[in-house]
Amino acid sequence: MPSWLNEGLAEYFSRIGRAVDGRHVLGLQTTRLLRTLQVSGNTVELVPFDVLFTGKGNGTIDQLYLTAWALVHYLANGAPDHVDRFRRFLLALARGRAWRDVLVEEYGPLPKIAEADRKHLEDVAVGKTLKWVIAENAGGPEPSAPVVRTLEDAEIHRMKAMLRPQDAEHELALAQKHQSDAPELHLWQATIAAQNKQDDLAEAELEKAVAARPKEYAYRWACARFRFERELRKPEAQQHLAALASEMRDVARHVSDALDLAVVGHFFQLIHDDALGRTFAERAVKRDPHCGQCLVTLGASYFAANELDDAIGALEAAVARWPHDEPVPDEVAAALEKYRRARDENN
């Protein structure tokens, strides 16, 4: 992303209003603009595009930021169809295209853009331009009542094992000796059993943890997630995901970690509850926009809604943001190819 676009977007989103119905209003005058108008007698001096795009030449910091913001504002709000143009522009950049080429493609020659941009700024200064009102669909997790209590022996032993993995067996033995019925110990033993592919034992330990502390959603979520992932390891004809739906709906309301949110989204996608699948996928990406698996889950929601450009964009972003020390999974590459084929066939 070029620096002018990065800074322009930051300025654009620095002022978000709230409509009467609770939705968000974009395109408001920024504090920087209002201050400049007050000081300069309602005039704003922008820097030329060549200075903005290269960072070389004369211009104050305020002028550079105002010019970047004004251009972004024009690209997004300059006409009723600009929201779609701007979306295509950003998606093309996310896919690696040169921003100058796409800018001219969507908005015309640079001199024409510069002229329209300055005229647009005059309208912005007097509050005459379009403002987009958007709904916030992703929402947030339902707040859980905080659990305030003293750490138990098993929790302390597990924390010490995490800090010093070489002492893990010793700390586990101490936890078993000091507090054999602790839910944290059951969770710990479930993790070990799952790593050793002892699924029945792992699930039994998780059930003991839930039984010991039924009001703590962390244990219920760990159990629900394990059961879901265990079902996924079965042949598709033998999976019974619908049987998990009630518990998943209950505990998912309290999930807040990005990867956990993506797991919830994937679950609801698989049981064909597309609305909930998309809600949790959006929430996951909102929580961590750099989470590759979250973007994959969101891409699947877009694909289910036949929003093929967005689906491809989400997976391309996922591949670009995948951890450098991990290979991109084959199924992600296959899904991206599938989405591209679907778009080609539609076209």
The model's pLDDT over 77-115, given as tens digits with 9 standing for 90+, comes to 888 889 889 999 999 998 889 999 999 999 999 999 999
Q: Which of 111, 134, 157 is the last residue of a domain?
A: 134
Domain boundary among 134, 164, 180: 134
Of 24-28, 184-188, 195-199, the one with minimum mean pLDDT is 24-28
**Confidence class for position 135, pLDDT limits 50, 70, 90:** low
Least confident of 66-75, 119-128, 333-342: 119-128
What token pair was written down for 71?
């251009």
Asked if residue 141 has pLDDT above 80, the reply is no
pLDDT of residue 167: 93
Contact 112, 78 (CB under 8 A): no
Give domain status of residue 90, yes or no. Answer: yes
Q: Of the ranges 19-23, 231-235, 303-307, which one carries the lowest mean pLDDT score? A: 19-23
Sole residue written with tokens 């024009």: 74
23 found inside a domain: yes
pLDDT at 138: 47
126 found inside a domain: yes
pTM of the model: 0.58
pLDDT for residue 140 is more than 60: no
Integer Cα distance of 46 and 3 in angstroms: 16
What mean pLDDT comes out for the span 18-22? 59
pLDDT of 256 > 70? The answer is: yes
Share of residues in the chain with pLDDT > 70 (%): 92
What span, in angstroms and rounded, lies between the C-alpha atoms of 162 and 42? 61
pLDDT band at 326 (very low <50, low <70, confident <90, very high): confident
**Bridge partner residues of 134 (DSSP):** 24
Residue 94: partners with Cβ closer than 8 Å, 6 or more residues away = 313, 316, 317, 320
Find the mean pLDDT for residues 2-17: 83
| Per-residue confidence (pLDDT) for residue 211, from 0 to 100 | 95
Domain span at residue 266 reads: 256-347
The mean pLDDT value for 167-176 works out to 93
Name the residue with higher pLDDT: 135 or 24.
24
Residues facing residue 133 across a β-bridge = 25
Cβ partners under 8 Å of residue 74, min gap 6? 82, 113, 116, 117, 120, 121
pLDDT of residue 188: 94
Last residue of a domain, one of 100, 115, 134: 134
Least confident of 34-43, 90-99, 186-195: 34-43
CATH number at residue 295: 1.25.40.10
- Residue 56 in any domain: the answer is yes
* Average pLDDT taken over every residue of the chain: 87
34 in a domain, yes or no?
yes
Question: Residue 47 and residue 64: Cα distance in Å, rounded?
Answer: 6
Domain count, the chain: 2
In a domain, 213, yes or no: no
Domain-embedded: residue 157: no
With respect to residue 16, please indicate whether it lies within any of the assigned structural domains.
yes
What average pLDDT does this structure show over 152-166?
91
Q: What is the pLDDT averaged over residues 168-192?
A: 93
- What integer is the mean pLDDT of 285-299? 91
